[in-house]
């Protein structure tokens, strides 16, 4: 008799379980970034963010403003892949000599102008919105002494970048970067040039950005 009861009740229990599963609301993760209208719109997680829909962003660097210049970057993300192209212009390193110039460049009294710096990067999201990539850059310099002697040259660098994106509200976000841009080639012979200074020749080594940090603000949206 018990076996008969079990055979009768089993289909009823299975049907009730299926009905409850259909009625119970699905558990979804809270919206993040452009999909969220809350403040802040960032939702922290340990796993690396994977953009199920392609995401496009435009960023504007803040360090370049301190150099009386400008920088704009376009960003494309899909899944955990990250691609970026950036272009800076009209940067005067003398505006922040302790940050933008070497001791030898400051002692020589050089005026250092960067009409443009450009390049692209590719990377992968590691944790939350933390990503690691490599960047390929070209930098144009116009170097002059107080006597008016001037030289122009270009350097090329390849180096790693570590970045973190924090969403403030909807697509509005801040990016923090740590970059290392060592020179891998220049248009100068032996990577140096001699200029005529007020007290005689000044030998200038090709400028090398090396390690530096930056912050940008931007807007991103899902396609």
pLDDT at 64 over 90: yes
Q: Is the pLDDT of residue 15 over 80?
A: no
Pairing outcome for strands 81-92 and 70-79: antiparallel
Q: Of all helices (H) and strands (E), which one includes residue 135?
A: strand 130-144
Q: Is the dihedral of CA 213, 160, 89, 87 positive or negative?
A: negative
Residue whose C-alpha is closest to residue 49's, from 123, 128, 131: 128
Rounded to an integer, the average pLDDT of 59-64 is 94
- pLDDT at site 16: 54
Q: What is the mean pLDDT of the chain?
A: 89
Strands 111-127 and 210-222, bridge-based pairing? unpaired
Q: Domains in the chain, ordered, with CATH?
A: 55-222 (2.40.160.20)
Q: Which residues pair with 207 in a beta bridge?
A: none
Q: What pLDDT, on the 0 to 100 scale, is given for residue 199? A: 84
Phi and psi at residue 49, to the nearest 5°: -65, 135
Question: Per residue, what are the HEC states of the chain?
Answer: CHHHHHHHHHHHHHHHHHHHHHHCCCCCCCCCHHHCCCCCCCCCCCEECCEEEEEEEEEEECHHHHCCCEEEEEEEEEECEEEEEEEEEEEEHHHCHHHHCCHHHHHCCCEEEEEEEEEEEEEEEEEECEEEEEEEEEEEEEEECCCCCEEEEEEEEEEEEEEEEEEEECCEEEEEEEEEECEEEECCHHHEEEEEECCEEEEEECCCCEEEEEEEEEEEEEC
Give pLDDT tens digits for 166-179: 999 999 999 999 99
Cα distance between residue 81 and residue 222, in whole Å: 14
CB-CB contact of 143 with 204 (8 Å): yes
pTM of the model: 0.82
Specify the range with the lowest mean pLDDT, choosing from 18-27, 106-115, 151-160, 192-201: 18-27
Give the mean pLDDT of 58-86. 95
Of residues 7 and 49, more confidence is placed in 49
């Amino acid at each position: 008799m018990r076996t008969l009861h079990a055979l009768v009740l089993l289909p009823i229990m299975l049907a009730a379980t299926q009905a409850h599963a259909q009625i119970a609301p699905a558990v979804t993760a809270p919206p993040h970034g452009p999909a969220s209208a809350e403040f802040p719109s960032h939702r922290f997680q340990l796993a690396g963010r994977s953009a199920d829909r392609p995401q496009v962003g435009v960023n504007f660097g803040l360090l370049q403003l301190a150099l009386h210049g400008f920088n704009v970057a376009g960003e494309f993300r899909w899944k955990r892949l990250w691609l970026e192209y950036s272009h800076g212009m009209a940067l005067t390193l003398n505006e922040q000599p302790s940050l933008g110039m070497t001791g030898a460049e400051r002692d020589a009294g050089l005026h250092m102008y960067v009409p443009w710096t450009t390049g692209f990067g590719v990377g992968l999201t590691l944790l939350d919105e933390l990503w690691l990539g490599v960047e390929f850059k070209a930098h144009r310099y116009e170097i002059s002494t107080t006597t008016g002697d001037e030289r122009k040259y270009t350097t090329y660098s390849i180096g790693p970048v570590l970045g973190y994106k924090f969403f403030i509200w909807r697509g509005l976000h801040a990016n923090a970067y740590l970059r290392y841009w060592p020179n891998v080639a220049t248009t100068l012979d032996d990577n140096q040039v001699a200029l005529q200074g007020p007290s005689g020749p000044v030998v200038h080594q090709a400028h090398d950005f090396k390690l530096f940090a930056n912050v940008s603000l931007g807007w991103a949206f899902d396609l």
